[in-house]
Structure 1
């Protein structure tokens, strides 16, 4: 509020100051007999000069407010103030025009690697890219695992081992596998078990267990 009052006071003083010289020239014309053409050009030149300075300062104030640089009001020296303008504007232009290229690292980019598709050209058939060959550029980008990731990986290994043992026990105790004298479910497929025990709509029952129970 104080800053706004100060600016209004400056504007009022400039208005008063700009009207005094023309009035003085008119008084000299009346009292001293100075030619009217001299009074006219002198008054016009003075008013134009004051108006130009006032207009320039007004444009600068609007510029400062528009780019949120109100702290520049406190810098009286014009050259220093303009140097600050250039520095701030250069930083903002650089920020706006900067192209950020993210590093593809686990797991910062949820889209994963693009396998070099950034060089695709419109109107051209893209070439097939071998994921294994192109994936070499992403080697060693994983970085060190965090403590949480190490814990999850260890839990996955433990559960995988536990699930494998459960599967092996289930195969060992399955009556059909024992009856046909095989050791694994995959070996049972090679026999005529599924042909003899074929059931109409068996796939639908397995695929839609909720409908079957209803």
Structure 2
């Protein structure tokens, strides 16, 4: 079973703004990839100033030509000397590194030039394993070293969350840490109760914790 067949396009107005799911890339059984915006995205044009992805301006169209080729420009070059460490960080299986759809989902297609990111909808299976960075840190302002590399975090489904019914809240020894990103959190609702491990892999911090990367894997 493939780790995922859907990747959602997320966008936010600025670094500390709320994340919105605006589009969907979907791969069919014959490996064709389509892209379309979600209906609610039209509302973001007026309310948040959303600007469509440059090559995909029509909010009503289902794109089915060169979709993956266009989005794959966000991937780093395989010829880079540090590519092995990059794949290792993002939990990329080297045997699958030729698959651009897979790479886009595993690495989130992040760039410094815009506020888009690509969030794979992982399907629960006994070998599920991926990296994600936590959301909500800008609202919590955790002091430096609240958690450290290697720490295991506790999680709880937060189905009454008014922003996302799939929300998964993280804590460490009773301290709220943040949330699993939208879309990535869905696998927690598929998995048997408390069967996933969430472990801190990397941290960006100064006086407060700026970013926390965690691996999510089946126990």
Scaled by the length of structure 2, the TM-score of the pair is: 0.17
- Radius of gyration: which is bigger? 1
Q: Which has the higher strand share?
A: 2
TM-score scaled by length of structure 1: 0.17
Larger RCO, structure (CA 8 Å, separation 6 or more): 2
